[in-house]
């Protein structure tokens, strides 16, 4: 079952349908308003951008989205314009893509798909393409002790194999070029019982 689910979700249409089903549009709107807070004219990097569904919510920014799944990138071609670039690339190759500098970077629903060493390398790579003082915002499912049992079960069933608790995500930033401004567990981003951890970090 998990293999079938994972295969389906690699398809952009199935992924978009599942996102609509669980109410991800509302989650993204809340993330933009509460945590991303994009500034008009700023340069924004979306790491693991998927089908760039968040792009229209960001307004008048210069946007670069990077994702390994070419099916997602192809599905987002209608979002490409003079202020939007989409790159089919592994996030591990970020330093060699010649990108930046950016004012804001985001990784929404990415870290729980990656082991600790890969995430730590990614954090360093993101810092390298951010302006000093630039912001990095992450959001991932979290095992929260105050979350509902249903939320913990759904997180355990996520196709991401590295869902962590709050300290587990925070430790990924240890000895990194970032200071953590916000570490917040949210139970309200989706209309279904689900817990997310949002981190707002600032490059020193």
The answer, yes or no, to whether the previous bond of 16 is cis (omega within 30 of 0) is: no
Task: Identify the band that residue 1 occupies on the pLDDT scale cut at 50, 70 and 90.
Answer: very low
**What does pTM read for this prediction?**
0.91
Cβ–Cβ < 8 Å for 5, 159: yes
Contacting residues for 157 by C-beta, under 8 A, at least 6 apart: none
* DSSP H stretches of helix in 52-114: 70-75
Give the span between the Cα atoms of 107 and 83, in whole angstroms: 19
Beta bridge partners of 44: 63, 104
Q: Which residues of 140-157 are buried (b: 16+ CB within 10 A; e: fewer)?
A: bbbbbeebeeebbebbee
pLDDT tens string 169-204? 999 999 999 999 999 999 999 999 999 999 999 999
What is the DSSP annotation of 28-39?
HHHHIIIII---
Q: Where are the domains of the chain?
A: 2-203
What residue has token string 């990924």? 172
pLDDT tens string 114-156? 999 999 999 999 999 999 999 999 999 999 999 999 999 989 8
Q: Which CATH superfamily is domain 2-203 in?
A: Vaccinia Virus protein VP39 (3.40.50.150)
What is the distance, to the nearest Å, from the Cα of residue 171 to the centroid of all Cα atoms in its chain?
A: 18
The pLDDT score that the predictor gives to residue 8 is 41
């Amino acid at each position: 079952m998990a293999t079938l689910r994972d295969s389906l979700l690699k398809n952009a249409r199935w992924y978009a349908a599942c996102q609509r089903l669980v109410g991800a549009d509302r989650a993204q709107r809340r993330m933009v308003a509460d945590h991303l807070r994009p500034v008009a004219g700023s340069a924004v990097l979306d790491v693991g951008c998927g089908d760039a569904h968040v792009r229209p919510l960001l307004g008048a920014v210069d946007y670069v989205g990077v994702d390994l799944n070419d099916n997602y990138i192809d599905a987002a071609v209608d979002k490409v314009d003079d202020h939007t670039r989409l790159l089919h690339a592994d996030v591990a190759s970020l330093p060699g893509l010649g990108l930046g500098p950016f004012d804001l970077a985001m990784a929404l629903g990415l870290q729980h798909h990656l082991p600790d060493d890969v995430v730590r390398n990614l954090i360093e790579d993101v810092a390298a393409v951010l302006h000093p003082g630039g912001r990095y915002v992450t959001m991932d499912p979290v095992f929260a002790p105050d979350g509902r049992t249903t939320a913990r079960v759904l997180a355990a069933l996520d196709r991401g194999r590295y869902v962590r608790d709050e300290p587990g995500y925070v430790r990924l930033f240890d000895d990194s070029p970032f200071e953590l401004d916000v570490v917040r567990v949210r139970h309200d981003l989706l209309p279904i019982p689900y817990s997310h951890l949002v981190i707002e970090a600032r490059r020193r």
